[in-house]
A = this chain, B = another copy of it.
């Protein structure tokens, strides 16, 4: 079974090393991990020199997702209170394609705990708003409900730690939990 390894891991300074560790864990469970950087511009055999780098990466990622049976998404918040934008897009894409979806975040807090907010009475209802006056969802979820319930619908809830690991970008305990689950599906 092929597993697409989605996540902002590709932006880490040791991205290739993290990708190698993830692929090793996959192999341990009889899975083949597909890491985006393995076909990214420059190393891809299908790279077209006339195509902008970003477009080539997009096409490579789509091709990898189409080839994969499953995805493990690293949903650890990245540059904001939510997961990485590209990773979220890919998770929605894979869910709609009917692939097996699993995901984890290495932060224990709920989405709401990561957003500055204050309580407010509006139309007789007690709600929470951010500093711009926009509603903050108070559902006790790790991230936006589409992400969290999209994973629930696939049969394996988002994995989060009881406390943040020492290195949120390189601790793969929850990644391994997802791989183990996929291997048994």
Using a CB–CB distance below 8 Å, which chain A residues touch chain B? 8, 10-13, 15, 52-55, 57-59, 61, 79-86, 88-97, 115, 122, 129-130, 133-137, 139, 141, 143-150, 152-153
Contact = CB atoms under 8 A, between A and B. Distances in A.
Given A55-B149, A81-B80, A145-B57, A135 B11 contact: yes
24 contacts: A10-B135, A11-B136, A11-B137, A12-B135, A13-B122, A13-B129, A13-B135, A53-B139, A54-B141, A54-B149, A55-B152, A57-B145, A58-B145, A58-B149, A58-B153, A59-B149, A79-B82, A80-B82, A85-B88, A85-B144, A89-B91, A92-B93, A93-B96, A94-B96
A176 to B, nearest CB: 22
A134 B13 contact: yes
A137 B52 CA distance: 13
Given A53-B139, A89-B89, A145-B58, A80 B83 contact: no
Contacts of A146: 58, 61, 85-86, 89-90
Contacts of A85: 82-83, 85, 88, 143-144, 146-147
A149 B13 CA distance: 25
Contact of A97 (B13, B96, B149): B96
Which secondary structure dominates chain A's binding surface? helix
- Number of this chain's copies in the assembly equals 2
B150 A58 contact: yes
A54 B137 contact: yes
B54 A86 contact: no
A99 to B, nearest CB: 9
Nearest to A94: B96
